[in-house]
Amino acid sequence: MVMELSNANPVVYEKKERRIRQAPENTDENAAEPIDQLEIFDHIRDIKDPEHPYSLEDLNVVTEESVEINDELSHVKVTFTPTVEHCSMATVIGLCLRVKLMRSLPPRYKVDIRVAPGSHATEAAVNKQLSDKERVAAALENPNLLDIVEECLSPTFG
């Protein structure tokens, strides 16, 4: 199947140097270790773009700054920036982000995935679809779509 790429020549950005997360000073092994911005970013930075052999970090779709977290309220918000305004892959990328965080974070977390304001022609529609968990659940029961998501997520394991 030949598909027209929605962004044929994406700009590839330089990767940020990977920081090693500092082990907490706390010696109590049973204390809950709060999840921080960098940890969330580490979960999603290596997700592969659906059409290019680059990671979402390579394409500046996600940065560390695109992650907001309130650990106390168990709330995570990821704001991603599609490579072009008419990117037809925006919902697929959002779905990959949601699935990855769903699988990586404890179930108490509420995750919101949004496109950056002004970055997409159908921003409101994409955001509404990504926040509708019923439609997300139905999408993930679609074997073709699930294959695409799994393929994009595969570099993030291991």
Partner 1 sequence: MDNGGAAELRETHCLKGHADRAWSLAWNPSPGAGAGPVLASCGGDKTVRIWKRAPDGTWHCSDVLEDTHNRTVRSCAWSPDGKLLATSSFDATTAIWEYSGGDFECVATLEGHENEVKSASWSQSGSLLATCSRDKAVWIWEMHPGNEYECVAVLQGHTQDVKMVQWHPVLDVLVSVSYDNSIRVWADDGDDEWHCVQTLTEAGNCGHSSTVWSISFNQNGDRMVTCSDDCTLKIWDTSIDLSQPKTGEGHESWRHLSTLTGYHDRTIFSAHWSSEDVIASGAGDDAICLFVEEKSSMVEGPSYRLILKKEKAHDMDVNCVRWCPQDPRMLASASDDGTVKLWELGGSVLD
Contact footprint for partner 1 (CB under 8 A): 107-108, 110, 128, 131-135, 137-138, 141
Q: Residue 74, SS3?
A: coil
Which lies closer to partner 1 via its Cβ, residue 26 or residue 142? 142
Nearer of residues 21 and 110 to partner 1, judged by Cβ = 110
Residue 18 or 108 having the CB closest to partner 1 = 108
The residue (of 47 and 130) whose beta carbon lies closer to partner 1 is 130
> 41 — phi, psi (to 5°)?
-60, -40
Please give the Cα distance from 78 to 97 (Å, whole number): 8
Look at residue 80 and give its three-state secondary structure: strand
Q: Where are the alpha helices (DSSP H) in 7-154?
A: 37-44, 90-104, 123-131, 133-140, 143-153
Minimal distance, residue 125 CB to partner 1, in Å = 10
Question: What's the closest the beta carbon of residue 132 comes to partner 1, in angstroms?
Answer: 7
* Residue 110 to residue 18: CA distance in whole angstroms: 26
Give CA–CA dist 34/87, Å, rounded: 35
Least CB distance to partner 1 at residue 138 (A)? 5
CB 73 within 8 A of CB 26: no
Shortest distance, position 113 Cβ to partner 1, whole Å: 14
- Least spacing, CB of residue 8 vs partner 1, in Å: 32
Closer residue to partner 1 (CB): 28 or 134: 134
For residues 54 and 41, give the distance between their C-alpha atoms in angstroms, rounded to a whole number: 16
